[in-house]
């Protein structure tokens, strides 16, 4: 009664988190197929207490696969996503490859689960980590008061760039502690005790001056909320944190909304934990506390001084879990429930 | 032809920076009086290649002092500022003690130098570090297009909380590297590889949910720009950086303003260095590059997607220099030039 599940990119930071999440949430896996680039084939990963040997990602590897969770980057997803779909798998892809494709739903289960049903290409896209946690927190407010404009500054963890980026942060930190020169391996400069915008520039005319990461937040917010009239003004910044993205958000709505109303709405919202304590030093969601948790944490909900229709919020989420692996597995759970209903 | 200058709080992070700045800028010091709390009295600090013994801050110590630079905290400034002024010194205070006093000008020389002249109490207040760098960057745009609303998220360095806070960051970092438990000494929690809002809560009714640091940005912006109609929506965050504050700013003006116009205005502005390169990874002002520099660095100037009257900017400054010591010494230079003109 279970499923044959493939994890593509099983040796990466998000791939490993996908395996852990499938296990923790007791996803009905009859057979697990772990795939990666030829370079990583032969490595072993752990699942349900056993070693699983990683195979190279080939068309043949998808035979009999019901659900394929991809976290192998955009190029691999563009090439192998349709191959997996043609072999009969429902593809859930964590890369940016299919997010803008009108034939692929872009889904945060708490926000737009219904979109999963319409997937003419057999591919469902998992949004960008920064967008996911922002929308889990803002959608309950949007439903009540209609979002008009989101001004967001991010404080993004190094794990969002993968294992090697975390190692780069830690190695740079050790070098500084030893009084040695910092030699960046993955980042385009010093990230230890520093801040970087390290994402590629967006190359569309609309995105002049913006990074790809920032333009993802603009485009994906509109697609997921199915509302082209919402504006997003993003500034994406990498901070020397291992895991857990934070966001400072100024959200402007169509009508006035009070702090009390926002807290009440968020306390009922799925996937959200509200920190409604009065402000005091350290009384707010923090990356080190949120890392390893499923929920998106929202705190520091404050009225705005300039605009009665706006609120300021502080949103923290585990970028590898809800920002990637958990969101993908939640989509897989909905796909799995469809098959059982059919 | 020089001045008797007192530095109160000479052993602190900002006090030492004041001494270095007086020396570097060749301020005409005839005699230097270094003062601190009784606990620090007897310590030595360096100035112009010589050791200067630090004395306890008493009324008698201000006899004959022309200019007293205070960086000793609000309590000391509240008590000893008027004592120094009564002894005939012009007091330039880096704490928050006198900033809101209508009888004390609050000055960023590039922005409102003229305000220095009217100082009925003999005390001039140095603004908060976050406000100074934001206004050095925004005032040239304000003059051209009139600011209406500033939405700012800060990324503030540990040096803003003093020597001991930097040491706390470094010690926590070493503990993490050694796999040991983090034991915060100064911060209210983990700051290494984490983010904190560590400032005290504001206790005024208007400031509900906001920190003192945030409310300083609201109040001080209006006082310095002499415009009560400007709104500021601040979120202040401490990041694991040693020195150099960064700010993500969404600035809304009375009329549309283009990126090209903003760059042209900022390139002519005093105290500003513009990074006008097209966006690429790492091509933006960074704390590790700006630390030790006098100017405020502005980059990532981008049009806004939601509002033709708004721009998004990334502003980085050395919080100990322009954010504190340099700004105070620049005020002292203007005071000194008055005496020479008189």
**A189 contacts B282? CB cut-off 8 A:** yes
pLDDT in the model for residue B339: 75
C-alpha distances (whole Å) from A248 to each of A115, A233, B109 are 28, 12, 30
What pLDDT does A1 receive? Answer: 73
pLDDT at A223 over 80: yes
Q: E strand or H helix at B122, and its extent?
A: none
Other C-beta atoms closer than 10 Å to the C-beta of A60 total: 9
- In 10 A of CB A171, how many CB atoms? 17
B242 touches chain A (CB under 8 A): yes
Upper half-sphere CA count for residue B28 (Cβ side, 13 Å) = 11
**Residue B39 pLDDT > 70, yes or no?**
yes
Q: What's the CA gap between B88 and B108, in Å, rounded?
A: 23
* B248 contacts B235 by C-beta, under 8 angstroms: no
What's the CA gap between A316 and A154, in Å, rounded?
10
* Contact (CB<8Å) B281/A231: no
Q: Mean pLDDT of all residues in chain A?
A: 97
The pLDDT of A217-245, averaged and rounded, is 98
From the number of C-beta atoms within 10 Å of its C-beta (0-12, 13-18, 19+), residue A215 rates as: buried
The dihedrals phi and psi of B271, each to the nearest 5 degrees, come to: 80, 10
Question: Does the CB of A153 have a partner CB in chain B at under 8 Å?
Answer: yes
Other beta carbons within 10 Å of B308? 13
Identify the DSSP state of B116.
G
Assess whether pLDDT exceeds 80 at residue B300. yes
Share of chain B above pLDDT 90, in %: 97
Q: Tokens 């008027």 map to which residue?
A: B82
Q: What is the pLDDT of residues A246-285, one digit of tens each?
A: 999 999 999 999 999 999 999 999 999 999 999 999 999 9
pLDDT for residue A342 = 58
Look up residue B156 and give its DSSP letter. B
pTM listed for this prediction: 0.96
Q: Is A66 a catalytic residue?
A: no
Please tell me which of the candidates B195, B284, B312 has its beta carbon nearest to residue A155.
B195
CB-nearest partner of A211 from B194, B279, B286: B279
- Can you list the domains of chain B with their CATH numbers? 3-127+324-341 (3.40.50.720), 131-319 (3.30.360.10)
Helices B129-145, B212-225: crossing angle, 10 deg rounding: 40
β partners of residue B312: B250, B302
Q: Is A129 a catalytic residue?
A: yes
CB B287 within 8 A of CB B297: no
Interval B172-200: pLDDT, tens: 999 999 899 999 999 999 999 999 999 99
Query: Which residues are B232's β-sheet partners?
Result: B150
Interface of A with B in 178-207 (CB under 8 A): 187-190, 193-201, 206
- What is the percent of chain A with per-residue pLDDT over 90, rounded to a whole number? 97
Residue that has been written with the tokens 């052993």 in this structure:
B11
Other beta carbons within 10 angstroms of residue A224's beta carbon come to 23
Q: Is B50 helix (H, G, I), strand (E, B) or coil?
A: strand
**Rounded Cα distance, B140 and B147, in Å:** 10
Q: B265: how many CB neighbours lie within 10 A of its CB? A: 19
Chosen for mutation from B231, B298, B305, B312 (greatest number of chain A CBs closer than 10 Å) is B305
Backbone angles phi and psi of A244, in degrees to 5 = 110, 110
Question: Rounded mean pLDDT of B54-66?
Answer: 97
The widest CA-to-CA distance across chain B, in whole angstroms, is 63
Q: What are phi and psi of B323, to 5 degrees?
A: -70, -10
Would you state the pLDDT for residue A268? 98
The whole-angstrom separation of Cα A219 and Cα A54 is 34
Strands A123-125 and A147-155: unpaired
Q: Is residue B269 very low, low, confident or very high in pLDDT (cuts 50, 70, 90)?
A: very high
Cα A88 to Cα A1: distance, rounded to the nearest angstrom: 17
What is the C-alpha separation between B254 and B145, in angstroms, rounded? 6
Q: How far apart are CA A102 and CA A85, in angstroms?
A: 16
Please give the structure tokens belonging to residue B213. 């640091």
Query: Is 90 exceeded by the pLDDT of residue B237?
Result: yes
Q: In a 3-state reduction of DSSP, which class is residue B314?
A: strand
Q: Classify B91 as helix, strand or coil.
A: strand
What is the pLDDT confidence band of residue B341, given thresholds at 50, 70 and 90? Answer: low
Please give the pLDDT value at position B1: 73
Question: Cβ contacts of residue B196 below 8 Å, gap of 6+?
Answer: A281, A282, A286, B187, B188, B189, B190, B237, B238
Cβ-based burial of A169 (10 A; exposed 0-12, middle 13-18, buried ≥19): buried
pLDDT at A89: 98
Q: What pLDDT is recorded for position B136?
A: 98
The pLDDT tens digits of the residues spanning A105-119 come to: 999 999 999 999 999
Do residues A198 and A192 lie in contact, with contact meaning Cβ atoms separated by under 8 Å? no
**ipTM confidence:** 0.96
Count of C-beta atoms within a 10 Å radius of residue B145: 20
Query: Which pLDDT score, from 0 to 100, does residue B263 have?
Result: 98
Arithmetic mean of pLDDT, A48-63: 97
B342 — pLDDT class (breaks 50, 70, 90): low
Task: Write down the pLDDT at residue A339.
Answer: 75
pLDDT at residue A341, as a whole number:
64
Average pLDDT on B91-112 reads 97
**How far is A81 from A77, CA to CA, in rounded Å?**
5
How many pairs of residues across A and B have Cβ atoms under 8 Å apart? 185
Mean pLDDT of chain B: 97
């Amino acid at each position: 009664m279970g499923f044959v599940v493939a994890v593509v990119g099983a040796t990466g930071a998000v791939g490993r988190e996908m395996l852990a999440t499938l296990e923790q949430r007791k996803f009905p896996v009859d057979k697990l197929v772990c795939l990666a680039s030829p370079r990583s084939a032969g490595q072993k990963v752990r699942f349900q207490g056993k070693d699983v040997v990683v195979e190279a990602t080939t068309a043949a590897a998808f035979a009999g696969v019901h659900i394929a969770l991809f976290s192998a980057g955009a190029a691999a997803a563009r090439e192998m996503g349709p191959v997996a779909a043609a072999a009969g798998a429902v593809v859930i892809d964590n890369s940016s490859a299919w997010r803008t494709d009108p034939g692929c739903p872009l889904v945060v289960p708490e926000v737009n689960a219904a979109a999963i049903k319409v997937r003419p290409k057999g591919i469902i896209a998992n949004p960008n980590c920064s967008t996911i946690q922002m929308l889990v927190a803002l959608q309950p407010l949007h439903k009540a008061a209609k979002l008009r404009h989101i001004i967001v500054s991010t404080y993004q963890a190094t794990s969002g760039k993968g294992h090697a980026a975390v190692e780069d942060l830690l190695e740079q930190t050790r070098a500084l502690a030893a009084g040695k020169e910092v030699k960046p391996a993955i980042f385009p400069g010093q990230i230890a005790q520093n801040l970087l915008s390290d994402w590629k520039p967006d190359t569309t005319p609309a995105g002049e001056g913006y990074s790809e990461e920032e333009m993802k937040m603009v485009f994906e917010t509109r697609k997921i909320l199915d509302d082209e009239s919402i504006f997003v003004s993003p500034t994406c910044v990498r901070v020397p944190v291992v895991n857990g993205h934070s966001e400072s958000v100024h959200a402007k709505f169509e009508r006035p909304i009070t702090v009390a109303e926002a807290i009440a709405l968020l306390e009922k919202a799925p996937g959200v934990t509200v920190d409604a304590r009065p402000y005091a030093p350290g009384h707010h969601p923090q990356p080190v506390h949120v890392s390893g948790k499923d929920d998106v944490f929202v705190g520091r909900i404050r009225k705005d001084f300039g605009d009665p229709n706006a609120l300021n919020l502080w949103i923290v989420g585990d970028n590898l879990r809800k920002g990637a692996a958990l969101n993908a597995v939640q989509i897989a759970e909905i796909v799995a429930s469809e098959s059982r209903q059919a």
